[in-house]
């Protein structure tokens, strides 16, 4: 099997042939994948994990070994969550169809979901994925504003449709940025050093708007996730996005909050990450954790934003808003509320960040610990004073943890930020297990891939 290069920033992408620990059976599976799935797919880790089962915060391989999942925000309530499984099973046995027939489940879910948003957001439209949701938001923004310009951060990720991939620069140079797209620097408080980060971000946004106008492009929207996941995880200070949002609106464009990563209690302060910044977005896009693994996404919006789009276009999505997906969505919301998982994300997330900050006292490689709730970034550096990014050590840590059966990822423009994003049912005991493993990997400076 020919080696493949990982996507920039994907430090845990598989590099076949680099590790001698991959078994013959795993090599056979990898060969089958390449034969039938083609060259574009990537696996995680130098030694890919062959998973067969999941339960709670644990994933299990073919040998029955358990892996602690510190990364998966798709099954945000944990793998195989019983309430979601039961709701989906019941609905499958009763009815599954599309939204051109009347049925109650989509309405029950839409009403409950909208009740959890600020009052100015009055409609929801359903999709199957977050990529579709961002694609739909862009269509609506173009219809409402008459513009086409999009502003995102330097390493943003918003999806993989043709339109959305053009404003997802984290996909790499092989996926060209659209000529109507402008990028702004990530709000990196660790490296940028501005006394007023909010004013600096807003100045970057105004410059991007000016450049769009200079090239005869009318702005349609700025879209960002409130945790800046692909840029390297930036959450603070709360409220720093307000002035940027004001600049976008002054230009006649819309502010779109991509909550695919930061929504559904992930950041620990509220259900939605944009609320940490006191924002009133024009649209909010949803995905991954919405169905705890059942494919569902959506766009929540101001009614006036979609008026022209609705007048001119019919919207139809065969499986977006299906009874089964909406049953899963309802169950997710009920479990989050019943089990106080927003508070759990806040409390356990604080415990996690505190433990990592204590670990930094023993390991010079940890340059910064940041995040909100159970979304945390750990910057790995070779020189703390100079804040020198250390992608090589980051790669060693990610793969070293995998060998200890702990699964994480990494992000950032220099591929040196450990990205921690466990299911929001994570406990302090799970944190202790993770931090102990990280301590061991960081202590073993001689370890290197075989």
pLDDT, position 433: 98
Q: How far apart are CA 410 and CA 128, in angstroms?
A: 26
Residue 9 has pLDDT above 50, yes or no: no
Residue 81 has pLDDT above 90, yes or no: yes
User: What is the residue-averaged pLDDT of the chain?
Assistant: 93
Domain 24-79+341-443 sits in CATH at: 3.90.1150.10
pLDDT, position 404: 97
Q: How far apart are CA 255 and CA 143, in angstroms?
A: 14
pLDDT, position 19: 62
pLDDT, position 18: 55
Domain ranges of the chain: 24-79+341-443, 82-338
| CA-CA-CA-CA torsion sign (24, 28, 30, 34) | positive
pLDDT, position 296: 97
pLDDT, position 203: 98
3-state secondary structure of 299: strand
Lowest mean per-residue pLDDT among 15-29, 281-295, 332-346: 15-29
Residue 7 has pLDDT above 90, yes or no: no
More confident call, 179 vs 12: 179
pLDDT, position 6: 41
Q: How far apart are CA 212 and CA 152, in angstroms?
A: 13
Please write the tens of the pLDDT for every residue from 39-61. 888 888 999 999 999 999 999 99
Q: Do 409 and 398 meet the contact criterion of CB atoms below 8 Å apart?
A: yes
Domain 82-338 sits in CATH at: 3.40.640.10
Please write the tens of the pLDDT for every residue from 265-314. 999 999 999 999 999 999 999 999 999 999 999 999 999 999 999 999 98
Give me the helix-helix angle, 303-312 and 130-145, nearest 10°.
Answer: 90
pLDDT, position 2: 36
Q: Do 125 and 209 meet the contact criterion of CB atoms below 8 Å apart?
A: no
pLDDT, position 5: 37
pLDDT, position 384: 96
How many CB atoms sit inside 10 A of residue 80's CB? 15
Q: Do 129 and 136 meet the contact criterion of CB atoms below 8 Å apart?
A: no
What residues does 283 pair with on adjacent strands?
256, 301
pLDDT, position 142: 98
Q: How far apart are CA 221 and CA 219, in angstroms?
A: 6
Q: Do 447 and 396 meet the contact criterion of CB atoms below 8 Å apart?
A: yes
Closest CA to 237 of 369, 370, 366: 370
| CA-CA-CA-CA torsion sign (42, 291, 287, 419) | negative
Please state the rounded mean pLDDT for residues 197-214.
Answer: 98
Q: What percent of the chain lies above the pLDDT cut of 70? A: 94
Please state the rounded mean pLDDT for residues 340-353.
Answer: 98
Residue 388 has pLDDT above 70, yes or no: yes
More confident call, 43 vs 209: 209
pLDDT, position 225: 94
pLDDT, position 22: 84
pLDDT, position 27: 86
Work out the pLDDT band at 450, boundaries 50, 70, 90: very low
Q: How far apart are CA 420 and CA 69, in angstroms?
A: 9
Please write the tens of the pLDDT for every residue from 394-432. 999 999 999 999 999 999 999 999 999 999 999 999 999
């Amino acid at each position: 099997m020919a080696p493949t290069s990982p996507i920039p920033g994907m430090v845990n992408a598989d590099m076949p042939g680099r590790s001698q620990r991959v078994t013959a059976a795993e090599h056979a599976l990898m060969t089958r994948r390449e034969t039938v799935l083609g060259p574009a797919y990537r696996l995680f880790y130098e030694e890919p994990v062959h998973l067969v089962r999941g339960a709670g915060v644990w994933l299990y391989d073919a040998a029955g070994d358990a892996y602690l999942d510190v990364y998966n925000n798709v099954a945000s309530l944990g793998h195989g969550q019983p309430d979601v499984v039961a709701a989906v099973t019941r609905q499958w046995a009763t009815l599954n169809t599309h939204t051109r027939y009347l049925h109650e489940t989509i309405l029950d879910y839409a009403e409950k979901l909208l009740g959890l948003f600020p009052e100015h957001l009055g409609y929801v439209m359903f999709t199957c994925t977050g990529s579709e949701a961002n694609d739909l938001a862009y269509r609506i923004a173009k219809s409402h504003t008459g513009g086409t310009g999009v502003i995102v951060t330097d390493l943003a990720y918003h999806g993989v449709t043709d339109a959305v991939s053009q404003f997802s620069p984290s996909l790499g140079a092989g996926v060209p940025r659209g000529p109507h797209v402008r990028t702004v620097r990530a709000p990196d408080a660790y490296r940028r050093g501005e006394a007023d980060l909010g004013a600096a971000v807003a100045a970057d946004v105004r410059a991007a708007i000016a450049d769009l106008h200079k090239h005869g492009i009318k702005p349609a929207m700025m879209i960002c996730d409130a945790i800046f996941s692909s840029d390297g995880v930036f959450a603070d200070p709360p409220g720093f996005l307000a002035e940027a949002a004001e600049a976008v609106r002054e230009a006649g464009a819309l502010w779109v909050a991509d909550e695919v990563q930061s929504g559904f209690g992930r950041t620990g302060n509220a259900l939605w990450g944009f609320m940490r910044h006191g924002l009133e977005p024009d649209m909010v896009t949803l995905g991954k954790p919405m169905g705890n693994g059942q494919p569902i996404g959506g766009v929540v919006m101001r009614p006036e934003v979609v008026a022209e789009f609705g007048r001119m276009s019919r919207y139809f999505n065969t499986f977006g808003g299906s009874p089964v997906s909406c049953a899963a969505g309802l169950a997710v919301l009920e479990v989050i509320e019943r089990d106080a998982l927003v508070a759990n994300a806040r409390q356990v997330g604080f415990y996690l960040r505190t433990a990592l900050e204590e670990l930094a006292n023993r390991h010079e490689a940890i340059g910064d610990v940041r995040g909100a709730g159970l979304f945390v970034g750990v910057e790995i550096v070779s020189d703390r004073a100079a804040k020198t990014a250390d992608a090589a050590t980051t790669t060693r840590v990610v793969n070293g943890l995998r060998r200890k059966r702990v699964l994480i990822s990494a992000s950032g423009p220099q591929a040196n930020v450990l990205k921690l994003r466990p299911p929001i049912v994570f406990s302090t005991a799970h944190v202790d297990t993770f931090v102990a493993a990280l301590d061991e990997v960081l202590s073993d400076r001689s370890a290197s891939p075989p």
